[in-house]
Amino acid sequence: MINRFIQRITVLAALALMLLNPLEAEAADRLQDTGDRLVIVIDPGHGGNNRGTLENNHEEKFMTMITARAMYDELIKYDGVEVYLTRTEDVSMTLEERAKFAESVDADFMFSIHYNASENHELFGAEVWVSSVSPYNGYGLQFGHEFLTEAKEMGLLVRGVKTRLGDEGDYYGIIRESVKLGVPALIIEHCHVDNERDMDYCDSDADLKAFGIADATAAARYFGLSSSELGVDYSGHSLAEASATSFNSLTKNDDTEPDVCEIALETGDDGRPVIRDGVLAVNVTAADYDSPLMYYSYSLNGGATFSEREIWPGCDALTGSYRDTFRLELEIPDGTKPEIILRAYNPYDLYTDSNLLTVPWAAVEEPENGSLPSRENQDGTVPAAGGTVLSPTGETAPEETRERPGTTTFQPAFSEQAEEEQEVSFISFLKLCLVFVLLLFIVFFISQYLSYRKRRKRRRQHRKELGDSRNQQR
């Protein structure tokens, strides 16, 4: 109880701090001074033996080439810019070689083109990795905002402009090696090729080219370029507020899990949780003091399995904002006794699990026929559960959360459970058989023993009779 109180207080304090000191980016001038001659290097990631991501029938080294060439073709339409590619063929190149090439042409920026995939195919969205070293961190943040704004308009989840630290400073070699040579560099991870939500963005060559054009437009906006051919002029375009000298908090490598994650059942007037048409409402309270919350998933079976990831309501990695409370409607499969856990993820995919909520059926509104739902009705096919987010006012939630209503599939989880139950009953059947066989053995041995005793008794009797007759003979 006291713990909860302290958590609530810390959430409130964090909110107050955020209000006083908003992370929201404001319009600003470009931090980077490029001089008269502007040189841009585009680096199609991977190549040769280094094939990159191979998920979902894609080969990243070819994808990056299509996007990089489209970016090149678009950028040369702008006035006063020299553009180079680190490679034009399917060849292996070390990260040092790429950095050295950028240095050799006196590059103002190197953009490394990539496509992403995650181990469990859970992640989706676009992100930009930048240097943690100033002033490159500030340059990266300003460009990253331009690209991710485009990605957001395309409908992708924005995973932020981020830094990742390793033992030698910047974790990603292309950034580290370039910065060593004084060349600003960053990585654009356009989308996740292995997640259903992002697949449509990278399916065809046309998709990959569209990303290249978005990259070029972001660069044109960042450098304030104009193109008579395209009829655009970005010379007055203002960029996100960033600092050249100090590290930008929005890009911070967050290595701690979200700080608060709590769920409570929404209750009716009688104080009991209400389930209507198989839907149960849960109120979520969560906070991460370092970065915006990005995804959530939930478990209805006490954490054995979790749903697919959903976008955290109000998540905006460009401003660092998210909703710290929301109402989640959970579809509870007929006849199950839900054990609910909510998992909150930050942009570095670190997560915190909420408290466990158990809902005894007795506390839940009874179905119309007056009897409690029973497992027998299930016949192995359980309706899929889906989560929908409602705003506190009861309206339907922001667009991104409505994109795929109720598509979270819990079916595999529950069919697994059904399988497990089947397995369990098979094992108990085996046990019964064993007991039966044992009983048979015991009966067999007892009967054997009894007949042995009978035979012995008969033999003894026989011998006695023989002895008697012998005595009679004497």
User: Of the listed pieces 112-120, 287-295, 370-378, 461-469, which binds Zn ion according to CB under 5 A?
Assistant: 112-120
What angle, rounded to 10 degrees, do the helices at 60-75 and 205-223 form?
A: 50
Strands (E), 73-121: 82-85, 109-116
Q: Which helix (H) or strand (E) covers residue 441, if one does?
A: helix 411-473
Report in angstroms how near the CB of residue 60 gets to Zn ion at its nearest: 5
Report in angstroms how near the CB of residue 155 gets to Zn ion at its nearest: 22
Report in angstroms how near the CB of residue 117 gets to Zn ion at its nearest: 9
Nearer to Zn ion, 58 or 327 (CB): 58
Q: For the CA atoms of 375, 376, 381, 386, what is the dihedral angle to 10 degrees?
A: -30
Q: In what order do the strands lie in the sheet with 185-192?
A: 82-85, 39-44, 109-116, 185-192, 126-129, 158-162
Residues 343-362 that bind Zn ion (CB under 5 A): none
Residues 129-168 that bind Zn ion (CB under 5 A): none
Report in angstroms how near the CB of residue 30 gets to Zn ion at its nearest: 27
Binding string to Zn ion for residues 230 to 269, with x set by CB under 5 A, is what? ----------------------------------------
Return d(Cα 227, Cα 61) in angstroms, integer: 30
If we measure between CA atoms, which residue out of 102, 112, 90 comes closest to residue 44? Answer: 112
Residue 45 touching Zn ion (CB under 5 A): yes
Q: What residue type is 139 in one-letter code?
A: Y
Residue 52 touching Zn ion (CB under 5 A): yes
Nearer to Zn ion, 177 or 288 (CB): 177
Report in angstroms how near the CB of residue 58 gets to Zn ion at its nearest: 11
Report in angstroms how near the CB of residue 46 gets to Zn ion at its nearest: 6
Count CB-CB contacts under 10 A for residue 167: 5
Report in angstroms how near the CB of residue 115 gets to Zn ion at its nearest: 6
Q: Which residues contact 291 (CB under 8 A, 6 or more apart)?
A: 160, 252, 254, 317, 320, 346, 347, 348
Nearer to Zn ion, 114 or 252 (CB): 114
Residue 114 touching Zn ion (CB under 5 A): yes
User: Of the listed pieces 31-39, 66-74, 78-86, 108-116, which binds Zn ion according to CB under 5 A?
Assistant: 108-116
Q: Which residues contact 283 (CB under 8 A, 6 or more apart)?
A: 263, 264, 265, 266, 325, 326, 327, 328
Nearer to Zn ion, 66 or 344 (CB): 66
Report in angstroms how near the CB of residue 114 gets to Zn ion at its nearest: 4
Residue 47 touching Zn ion (CB under 5 A): no
User: Of the listed pieces 41-49, 105-113, 134-142, 437-445, which binds Zn ion according to CB under 5 A?
Assistant: 41-49
User: Of the listed pieces 40-48, 158-166, 239-247, 260-268, which binds Zn ion according to CB under 5 A?
Assistant: 40-48
Sign, Cα dihedral of 50, 53, 57, 58? negative
What angle, rounded to 10 degrees, do the helices at 95-104 and 173-180 form?
A: 40
* Residues contacting Zn ion: total by CB under 5 A: 3
Report in angstroms how near the CB of residue 105 gets to Zn ion at its nearest: 22
In the numeric block, the tokens 């070029």 are attached to 216
Residues 390-409 that bind Zn ion (CB under 5 A): none
Report in angstroms how near the CB of residue 243 gets to Zn ion at its nearest: 29
User: Of the listed pieces 44-52, 88-96, 241-249, 344-352, which binds Zn ion according to CB under 5 A?
Assistant: 44-52
User: Of the listed pieces 51-59, 70-78, 347-355, 384-392, which binds Zn ion according to CB under 5 A?
Assistant: 51-59
| Helix runs in 160-237, H state only | 173-180, 196-199, 205-223
Nearer to Zn ion, 185 or 287 (CB): 185
Residue 190 touching Zn ion (CB under 5 A): no
Nearer to Zn ion, 68 or 286 (CB): 68
Nearer to Zn ion, 112 or 291 (CB): 112
Return d(Cα 353, Cα 36) in angstroms, integer: 53
Nearer to Zn ion, 53 or 251 (CB): 53
Report in angstroms how near the CB of residue 20 gets to Zn ion at its nearest: 40
Q: Which residues contact 185 (CB under 8 A, 6 or more apart)?
A: 43, 99, 102, 109, 110, 111, 112, 131, 136, 174, 175, 178, 179
Report in angstroms how near the CB of residue 91 gets to Zn ion at its nearest: 16
Return d(Cα 188, Cα 140) in angstroms, integer: 11
Q: For the CA atoms of 401, 403, 404, 408, what is the dihedral angle to 10 degrees?
A: -20
Nearer to Zn ion, 45 or 292 (CB): 45
182-204 burial: b if 16+ Cβ within 10 Å, else e: ebbbbbbbbbbbbbebbbebbee
Q: Which residue is nearest to Zn ion (CB)?
A: 114
Residues paired with residue 422 on neighbouring β-strands, in sequence order? none
Q: How far lies 263's CA from each of 23, 227, 290, 305, 324, in Å?
A: 27, 53, 21, 18, 12
Interacting residues toward Zn ion by CB under 5 A: 45, 52, 114
